[in-house]
Structure 1
Amino acid sequence: MNERKAEIVGHHRKTIEFVHSLHEVSEETWRMELGAGQWSVAEVIGHLIPWDEFVLQKRIPYLFTNEQLPKGPEATTLNNASAFKSRNEEKSATIRQFVSVRSNLLNAIHEISNNRWKEELLIGQTRLQLYDYFNGLAEHDLHHFAQVKRVVQHN
């Protein structure tokens, strides 16, 4: 496996392990806001699920075709809907769904051949390599997971 692909695969494995470990946090911590007026741990984890589904369904299948990439969802609408859903469902359901969808994404990434990781993609008006696309998503994960870890470690 090429180094860049291995890095992204490793990241996704770690995220699955981390979210799975959140089964151990109390319900109070799970529902706790990251800061005043911010999302809760539940909402942060829940909002990642539809974005993973989007990448699985509307990005990966189109990346190496001549077809136009489907338009991305409106972020605020998607985030608000997913936050509402995770606010109102059981912790175990949100965690289970995250682990399932992220595992599917991990499998799809694993299936991308090694030689594709340096190919240039056009996403909207932006040209970037496949690694850069997935690394940007990983940085988004890490930002949110750092927030979640601060709440979990202090409770």
Structure 2
Amino acid sequence: MQRDKAYVIKHYKKSLDWINNLRGLSEEQWRTPIAPGKWSVAEVIGHLPPWDMFVLNHRIPFLLTDERLPKGPDVAHLNTMAAKKSREQAMEETLNDFISTRRQLLQTIQQWTNEQWQHSFKIGQSEMTIIDYFVGLINHDLHHFSQIQNVIHV
């Protein structure tokens, strides 16, 4: 499968549709754990917007420069806070948070040229292209979407 700008854009557009389809879930389905002792569907979806915001605010401004990337957040803390928030808020609010941040991310990356997608940068000691970075983010989405599908059968 070709991994390029079109692949990334297509995934982000499809992710918006996929999330919108979750609006038909019952409250029980929404609060169902993806596996025993694991997060609920709500918590899994709820942890994605903070990461999109992190990418928007702390990665994208630096990806096309030669500046060093800022240190990432404490993963466990960010995920814990996001899961807590999604346990406390209504499904509609969590879904709207996802859609809002994902649209912002999509609008930003759609503006990049094909050449910009090939720009290399470093995270720690690892060098990668912007396309590689976003393919990694897509794989994270797909992992979680698959977990949810296995539980709610959408």
| Fold conserved between structures, TM > 0.5 | yes
Aligned to 1:13: 13
TM-score norm. by structure 1 comes to: 0.95
Percent identical across equivalent pairs? 45
Unaligned stretches of 5+ in structure 2?
none
1-structure distance, mates of 2:40, 2:130: 31
Measure the CA separation in 1 of the matches of 2:47 and 2:33.
14
Query: In 2, Cα distance between the equivalents of 1:132 and 1:63?
Result: 12
Whether the 8 Å contact between 2:64 and 2:119 is mirrored in structure 1 is no
3-state SS of paired residue (2:4):
helix
Give SS of 1:85's match.
Answer: helix
**How far 1:98 moved relative to its partner?**
0.3
Which residue does 1:54 correspond to in 2? Answer: 54
Q: CA deviation at 1:3?
A: 6.6
Q: What TM-score, normalized to structure 2?
A: 0.96
Separation in 2, partners of 1:6, 1:76 = 32
Tell me the CA shift for residue 22 of structure 1.
0.5
Further displaced range: 25-34 or 113-122: 113-122
Aligned length: 153
Q: For structure 1, which runs of at least 5 residues remain unmatched after alignment?
A: none
Distance (whole Å) between structure 2 residues aligned to residue 88 and residue 3 of structure 1:
37
Matched residue, 1:113: 113
**Map of 1:32 onto structure 2:** 32
